[in-house]
Amino acid sequence: MLTAKLREALICFKAGRVTLPYPFAPHDPAPGFRGKITLDPDRCFGCGGCANVCPAGVIQVRDAGQLLRVLEFQWRRCTYCGRCEEVCPEQAITMSQQFETATDRGDDMVMRLEVFMGPCQRCGRCYVPPTPLDRMDRTGFRTGSGGRS
């Protein structure tokens, strides 16, 4: 019994101080950590691939007329899975290292991107195949038709 207690005491003694001084000293996540998504508006060409694969329904795509496509990221719902980053053909989305995302304002968690689209004068579509869009045809990149609108 006594030896058991001494052993336990030794384990504690050896451990020393463990608690990190965070937030007074920074504690950076490991490289490759999936933090808050960042968006490069210049790269996005509005294909909607990210919205197609997002498991949490963070990304909504709306077309305001023929020329304007609006992408809205309600990233309070984000699961930080990184699927949007993975499928984006233009690397417009990247998972940053940022994890300190607490806020008391809901608006802070909405990103809105307006993409100016140049549709083909004849068919009204933006691109003709083959385009990066074809990648979305693969199983798992497609969305189902029922359910969420």
Enumerate binding residues for other proteins (CB under 8 A): 1, 3-5, 7-8, 11-12, 15, 18, 29-34, 53-56, 79-83, 86, 95, 138-148
The answer to whether the CB of 103 falls within 8 A of the CB of 109 is yes
Q: Which is nearer to other proteins, 122 or 138 (CB)?
A: 138
Residue among 35, 90, 109, 117 that touches ligand SF4 (CB under 6 A): 90
Cα torsion 131, 139, 47, 146 to 10°: value is 140
# binding residues, ligand SF4 (CB under 6 A): 26
Q: 95 Cβ partners below 8 Å, 6+ apart?
A: 33, 34, 35, 36, 37, 38, 80, 82, 85
Separation of CA 122 from chain center: 35
Closest to other proteins by CB, 11 or 123: 11
| Cβ-proximal residues to 90 (8 Å cutoff; 6+ apart), any chain | 43, 44, 45, 132
Identify what 141 binds: ligand SF4, other proteins, none; CB under 5 to 8 Å per kind: other proteins
CA–CA distance, 71 with 111 (Å, rounded to integer)? 8
Name which of 61 and 126 has its Cβ closer to other proteins. 61
Is residue 58 close enough to count as binding ligand SF4 by CB under 6 A? Answer: yes
CB closer to other proteins out of 58 and 115: 58
Q: Which residues pair with 70 in a beta bridge?
A: 62, 114
Q: Is 94 in the site for ligand SF4 (CB under 6 A)?
A: no
Nearer Cβ to ligand SF4, position 20 or 91? 91
38: three-class secondary structure by DSSP? strand
The residues binding ligand SF4 (CB under 6 A) are 37, 44-50, 54-56, 58-59, 71, 75, 78-84, 88, 90, 92-93
